[in-house]
C-alpha cells in the first residue's frame, strides 16, 4: 500500500497535470478567441507579416509580358511642359499606339471639365477611333462606405471610350494598399476597377459574374470578400513593369514592335505629380502600377486567397503549435524547450512561405503567438508550481516586458489615439537651394538618384533624433516632433536634428565634390506651437496621419522667407524661447507673413561652425535696436561696419537698403518696426 507521502505526491502530480492541461487549453483557445476577435493591434502585426512575405521572403516574381506602363514622367514633362497638358497632346499618342497594334490603353486619369470645344471633340474622336481606350472614374463614400458621388470625364469623352473603370485605392489603417475593390455598386450597377477592366480587355471578355465571395471571369474565379475586395498579389517593387515615356510614344521614338498587343496603363510616375501609393514592396509606388498589378493577377490567374479554408488552417495551426509547445515546456527544461520552440516557429514560418507561394495567406502571427504564449505560461507554471522558482521566473520574463515603445504606450495610453487630437509640436520644412536649376541639366534618372541619396541621408539624421517624417514634397521635407507620442523636448530635438542634417549633408557634399558632382545645400523653417494631429482625409478613400493648423502654415512660410534673408535656417520666436539656452541664434527681423495679421520675431539658427561670431551677433543686435528706434543714420553705419566683416551677409544688406529708404522717405509716425512679407 502506498505511503501517505506517495499518495500526496500522486495527488499533487495529478492536480498539477490537470492544472497544466487546463492552462494549455485556456492559453491556446485565448489565442483562438483573439483570432476571431481580430484585435487591431495584432492584426497590424499580421498585416506587416503579409508585407514581409512579399518583400523579404518571396521577393519579386515575373510580371505578365502583356502589361506595360505609359509614364507621365519627368522626361515627358520636360518636353511637353507643365502637367496637366492640353488634351490635344494625347491624340498623337493614341494614333501611334493604334498604328502599332496596341491592344488597349487604360487611363489612370479623367477629364471632368471642358478645356476647349474643338480640342475636347478632337480628343473624343481620337479615343473613339482607337476603339480600345478605357477611362477612369472615382467615387466618394460616406462613413458606411456607400457611394455618395463620382467624378469622371465629360460625357462627350466618356461616350467615346470602350469602357470605364474606377481608380479608387483604399489603403489599410496603416496606409498600405493591400486590397482593391474590384466592383463598386453605383446607381444600380457594378463598376469594375481599372485593373479589372484591363484584365477583361486582355482576356477578350465583356461580362463577369459576381458571387458572394468570388468574381467569375473568363474561367477564373477571383477570390473576394463581401465587399468585392481582392487581396493584391504584388509582383515586385516600383518599376517592375516595362515603362515607356509618354513623350517617346507620342513622338514616335519607340519601335512599334514593342507596343504591339500590349495592355497599356497610362498614369503619372513623376514625383512632382505625387500620385504615389504605399505598397508592401515600396512606400513610393506610382498608383498606375498598382492598377497594372491587379490586371496581372487576374490575367495570370495568380491570387492571394484569404478565405474560410485559410481560416480553418489558421485555427488548426494555432491549436497544434500552442498545445505542442505547452507540452514541451511542461516536460522539458526551459533551456531545452526554448530552442525547440524556436525551431518549431522557424519551421512554421517556412510552411507559411510555402503556402504563400501557392497563393494562400495563412496567419503567421497568431500561431507563433500561441507558441510564445504557451512557452511563457507553461514556463511560468513550471517554475511556480512544479519547481517553486517564482522569483527566478519573474526575473527571466521581465526583459520581455520593457521595450521602449511599449513602455511609452503604457505610461501614455492615449498617446497613439488615431482620431484628431491637440498636440504641442515643433515642425520643420526644408527645401534644397537651387534644385530647379540643378534638374535642368540632368536626366530624370540622375535627378532621382541624387534626390534619393539626399533624402535617405536626411531621414537617417532625423530618425536619430526621433523625428517623424510627414511627407516628401518634391525635394522638400516636412518633419515634426511631439506627435503621435508626446516629446517634452520636441523643440530641442528638432533643432539638434536640423544641425545634424546639415552636418550629414556637408559629409555628402565632400563625397560628391570628389566625384565632380555639384553639392546640395538646403534651407529650413522652424516653428513650435499647437496643432491638430490625427488621421486627416476622406474615410474609405484616402487618409493619413498628419498635423494641421497655423503652426504648420507659419513653419512653411518661414522656410520660404529664409531664401529672402539668404540664411540656412529661419526660426520662429516660439521655438527660440524653448531652445535659446541650448543653441546660438541671431535675431533677424519682426515680420508679418502673408496670410497672417500678427507679426512674429524671426531668428537665424547659427551653426557653431559658421564664420559669424558672438561679438558680431551682438553688434547686429545693437544695430537692429537703432533701426527700430528710428535712428537710421547710425543704424546704417553699424550695418556697414558689420558688412565689412561679413561681406556676404544678406541681412546686413537688407537693413542698409531699408535705412537708405527711410532716410529719404521716413515711415509714418505709427510705424511699429514690422516688415510685411508680400510673398509666400
- Diameter of the chain measured on Cα atoms: 121
CA angle 471, 473, 477 (to 5 degrees): 60
Reported residue count of the chain is 680
User: Same structural domain for residues 246 and 283?
Assistant: yes
pLDDT at 9: 37
Residue 392 has pLDDT above 60, yes or no: no
> Does residue 500 lie in a domain region?
yes
Q: What is the mean pLDDT of residues 56-69?
A: 90
User: Same structural domain for residues 85 and 162?
Assistant: yes
User: Same structural domain for residues 51 and 93?
Assistant: no
> Does residue 140 lie in a domain region?
yes
Residue 1 has pLDDT above 50, yes or no: no
pLDDT at 395: 35
pLDDT at 539: 55
> Does residue 436 lie in a domain region?
yes
> Does residue 616 lie in a domain region?
yes
Q: What is the mean pLDDT of residues 535-549?
A: 69
**In Å, how far are 136, 206, 289, 449, 601 from 203, measured between CA atoms?**
19, 9, 19, 38, 65
The total number of structural domains in the chain stands at 4
User: Same structural domain for residues 377 and 393?
Assistant: yes
Sign of the four-CA dihedral 197, 199, 203, 209 = negative
> Does residue 406 lie in a domain region?
no
**In Å, how far are 377, 430, 560 from 351, measured between CA atoms?**
25, 46, 54
pLDDT at 671: 81
Cell numbers 509547445 correspond to: 325
User: Same structural domain for residues 431 and 564?
Assistant: yes
The beta-strand segments (E) located in 240-292 are 243-245, 263-268, 276-277, 285-286
Q: What is the mean pLDDT of residues 476-495?
A: 89
Q: What is the mean pLDDT of residues 351-357?
A: 89
Range in 259-273, 411-425, 521-535 with the lowest mean pLDDT: 411-425
User: Same structural domain for residues 295 and 313?
Assistant: no
Q: What percent of the chain has pLDDT over 90?
A: 41
User: Same structural domain for residues 396 and 525?
Assistant: no
> Does residue 460 lie in a domain region?
yes
583-598: per-residue pLDDT in tens?
Answer: 999 999 888 877 677 8
Most confident region among 170-179, 192-201, 265-274, 614-623 by mean pLDDT: 192-201
Cell numbers 506587416 correspond to: 48
User: Same structural domain for residues 551 and 617?
Assistant: no
pLDDT at 614: 86
Most confident region among 211-220, 461-470, 494-503, 668-677 by mean pLDDT: 494-503
Listed residues 335, 368, 401: the one ending a domain: 401
Q: Give the number of other Cβ atoms within 10 Å of residue 444's Cβ.
A: 19
Helices (H), 53-191: 74-80, 90-100, 117-130, 155-158
Range in 239-253, 288-302, 440-454 with the lowest mean pLDDT: 440-454
Listed residues 349, 375, 401: the one ending a domain: 401
Calculate the CA dihedral of residues 47, 48, 49, 55 and round it to 10 degrees.
120
Which domain does 53 fall in, by range? 4-58+306-401
Q: Which residues contact 362 (CB under 8 A, 6 or more apart)?
A: 310, 313, 314, 317, 351, 352, 355, 356
Range in 168-172, 334-338, 502-506 with the lowest mean pLDDT: 334-338
Type and span of the H or E element at 151: strand 147-151
pLDDT at 401: 28
User: Same structural domain for residues 51 and 79?
Assistant: no
> Does residue 423 lie in a domain region?
yes
State residue 210 phi and psi, 5-degree precision.
-80, 140
C-alpha to C-alpha distance for 341 and 376, rounded to whole angstroms: 11
CATH number, domain of 515, equals 3.30.70.1230
State residue 572 phi and psi, 5-degree precision.
-75, 165
Q: Give the number of other Cβ atoms within 10 Å of residue 260's Cβ.
A: 12
| Confidence class for position 466, pLDDT limits 50, 70, 90 | confident
Helices (H), 38-169: 40-52, 74-80, 90-100, 117-130, 155-158
The set of cell numbers assigned to 95 is 494614333
User: Same structural domain for residues 417 and 539?
Assistant: yes
Closest C-alpha to 320, from 352, 344, 337, 354: 344
The set of cell numbers assigned to 468 is 517623424
User: Same structural domain for residues 634 and 602?
Assistant: no
C-alpha to C-alpha distance for 302 and 294, rounded to whole angstroms: 10
At residue 477, the 3 state secondary structure works out as: strand
Residue 6 has pLDDT above 50, yes or no: no
Residue 555 has pLDDT above 80, yes or no: yes
Cell numbers 531621414 correspond to: 459
123-148: per-residue pLDDT in tens?
Answer: 999 999 999 999 999 999 888 888 88
Residue 413 has pLDDT above 60, yes or no: no
- Tell me the average pLDDT of the chain: 84
Q: Which residues contact 284 (CB under 8 A, 6 or more apart)?
A: 238, 271, 276, 278
Task: Answer for the pair 321, 348: CB distance below 8 angstroms, yes or no.
Answer: yes
C-alpha to C-alpha distance for 160 and 131, rounded to whole angstroms: 8
Task: Answer for the pair 268, 286: CB distance below 8 angstroms, yes or no.
Answer: yes
The set of cell numbers assigned to 551 is 503652426
> Does residue 407 lie in a domain region?
no
pLDDT at 54: 87
User: Same structural domain for residues 653 and 579?
Assistant: no
Termini Cα distance of the chain: 97
Task: Answer for the pair 133, 124: CB distance below 8 angstroms, yes or no.
Answer: no
Listed residues 244, 275, 300: the one ending a domain: 300
The beta-strand segments (E) located in 133-262 are 133-141, 147-151, 163-166, 179-181, 183-186, 189-192, 209-211, 214-217, 220-223, 229-231, 243-245
Q: Which residues contact 542 (CB under 8 A, 6 or more apart)?
A: 169, 170, 171
371-383: per-residue pLDDT in tens?
Answer: 888 887 776 776 6
Residue 408 has pLDDT above 60, yes or no: no
| Confidence class for position 13, pLDDT limits 50, 70, 90 | very low
pLDDT at 405: 33
Q: Give the number of other Cβ atoms within 10 Å of residue 25's Cβ.
A: 14
Most confident region among 29-43, 242-256, 653-667 by mean pLDDT: 242-256
CA angle 365, 296, 48 (to 5 degrees): 20
Q: How would you write 365-388 as a 3-class SS string?
A: HHHHHHHHHHHHHHHHHHHHHHCC
At residue 6, the 3 state secondary structure works out as: helix
| Confidence class for position 538, pLDDT limits 50, 70, 90 | low
Amino acid at each position: 500500500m502506498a505511503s501517505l507521502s506517495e499518495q500526496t505526491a500522486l495527488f499533487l502530480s495529478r492536480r498539477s497535470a490537470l492544472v497544466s492541461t487546463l492552462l494549455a487549453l485556456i492559453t491556446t483557445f485565448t489565442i483562438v478567441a483573439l483570432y476571431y476577435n481580430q484585435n487591431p493591434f495584432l492584426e497590424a502585426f499580421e498585416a506587416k507579416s503579409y508585407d514581409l512575405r512579399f518583400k523579404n521572403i518571396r521577393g519579386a516574381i515575373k510580371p505578365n509580358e502583356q502589361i506595360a506602363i505609359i509614364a507621365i514622367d519627368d522626361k515627358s514633362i520636360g518636353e511637353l511642359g507643365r502637367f496637366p497638358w492640353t488634351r490635344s497632346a494625347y491624340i498623337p499618342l493614341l494614333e501611334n499606339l493604334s498604328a502599332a497594334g496596341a491592344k488597349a490603353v487604360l487611363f489612370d486619369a479623367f477629364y471632368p471639365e471642358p478645356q476647349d470645344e474643338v480640342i475636347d471633340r478632337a480628343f473624343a474622336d481620337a479615343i473613339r477611333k482607337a476603339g480600345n481606350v478605357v477611362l477612369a472614374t472615382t467615387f466618394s463614400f460616406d462613413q458606411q462606405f456607400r457611394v455618395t458621388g463620382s467624378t469622371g470625364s465629360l460625357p462627350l469623352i466618356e461616350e467615346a471610350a470602350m469602357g470605364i473603370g474606377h481608380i479608387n485605392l483604399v489603403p489599410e489603417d496603416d496606409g498600405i494598399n493591400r486590397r482593391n475593390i474590384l466592383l463598386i455598386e453605383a446607381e444600380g450597377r457594378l463598376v469594375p476597377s481599372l485593373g479589372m477592366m484591363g484584365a477583361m480587355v486582355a482576356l477578350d471578355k465583356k461580362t463577369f459574374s459576381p458571387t458572394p465571395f468570388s468574381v467569375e471571369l473568363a474561367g477564373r474565379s477571383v477570390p473576394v470578400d463581401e465587399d468585392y475586395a481582392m487581396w493584391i498579389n504584388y509582383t515586385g517593387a516600383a518599376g517592375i513593369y516595362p515603362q515607356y515615356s509618354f513623350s517617346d510614344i507620342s513622338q514616335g521614338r519607340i519601335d512599334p514592335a514593342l507596343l504591339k498587343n500590349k495592355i497599356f496603363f497610362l498614369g503619372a510616375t513623376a514625383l512632382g505629380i505625387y500620385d504615389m501609393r504605399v505598397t508592401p514592396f515600396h512606400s513610393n509606388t506610382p498608383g498606375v502600377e498598382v492598377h497594372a498589378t491587379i490586371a496581372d493577377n487576374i490575367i495570370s490567374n495568380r491570387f492571394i486567397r484569404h478565405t474560410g479554408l485559410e481560416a480553418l488552417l489558421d485555427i488548426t495551426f494555432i491549436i497544434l503549435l500552442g498545445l505542442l509547445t505547452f507540452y514541451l515546456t511542461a516536460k522539458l527544461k526551459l533551456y531545452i524547450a526554448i530552442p525547440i520552440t524556436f525551431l518549431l516557429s522557424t519551421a512554421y514560418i517556412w510552411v507559411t512561405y510555402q503556402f504563400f507561394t501557392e497563393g494562400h495567406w495563412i496567419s503567421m502571427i497568431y500561431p507563433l503567438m500561441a507558441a510564445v504564449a504557451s512557452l511563457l505560461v507553461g514556463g511560468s507554471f513550471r517554475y511556480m508550481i512544479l519547481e517553486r522558482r517564482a522569483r527566478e521566473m519573474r526575473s527571466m520574463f521581465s526583459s520581455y516586458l520593457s521595450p521602449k515603445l511599449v513602455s511609452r504606450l503604457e505610461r501614455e495610453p492615449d498617446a497613439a489615439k488615431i482620431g484628431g487630437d491637440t498636440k504641442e509640436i515643433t515642425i520643420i520644412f526644408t527645401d534644397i537651394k537651387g534644385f530647379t536649376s540643378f534638374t535642368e541639366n540632368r536626366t530624370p534618372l540622375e535627378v532621382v538618384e541624387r534626390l534619393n541619396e539626399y533624402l535617405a541621408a536626411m531621414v537617417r539624421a532625423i530618425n536619430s533624433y526621433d523625428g517623424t517624417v510627414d511627407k516628401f514634397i518634391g525635394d522638400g521635407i516636412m518633419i515634426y516632433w511631439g506627435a503621435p507620442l508626446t516629446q517634452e523636448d520636441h523643440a530641442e530635438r528638432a533643432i539638434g536634428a536640423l544641425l545634424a542634417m546639415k552636418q550629414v549633408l556637408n559629409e555628402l557634399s565632400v563625397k560628391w565634390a570628389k566625384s565632380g558632382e555639384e553639392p546640395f545645400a538646403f534651407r529650413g523653417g522652424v516653428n513650435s506651437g499647437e496643432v491638430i494631429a490625427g488621421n486627416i482625409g476622406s474615410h474609405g478613400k484616402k487618409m493619413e496621419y498628419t498635423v494641421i493648423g497655423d503652426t504648420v502654415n507659419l513653419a512653411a512660410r518661414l522656410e520660404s522667407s529664409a531664401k529672402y534673408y539668404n540664411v540656412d535656417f529661419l526660426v520662429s520666436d516660439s521655438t527660440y524661447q524653448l531652445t535659446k539656452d541650448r543653441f546660438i541664434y541671431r535675431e533677424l527681423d519682426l515680420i508679418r507673413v502673408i496670410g497672417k495679421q500678427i507679426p512674429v520675431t524671426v531668428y537665424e539658427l547659427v551653426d557653431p561652425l559658421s564664420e559669424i561670431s558672438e561679438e558680431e551677433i551682438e553688434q547686429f543686435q545693437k544695430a537692429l535696436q537703432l533701426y527700430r528706434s528710428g535712428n537710421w543714420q547710425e543704424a546704417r553705419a553699424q550695418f556697414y561696419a558689420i558688412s565689412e566683416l561679413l561681406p556676404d551677409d544678406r541681412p546686413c544688406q537688407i537693413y542698409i537698403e531699408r535705412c537708405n529708404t527711410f532716410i529719404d522717405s521716413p515711415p509714418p509716425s505709427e510705424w511699429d518696426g514690422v516688415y510685411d512679407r508680400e510673398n509666400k
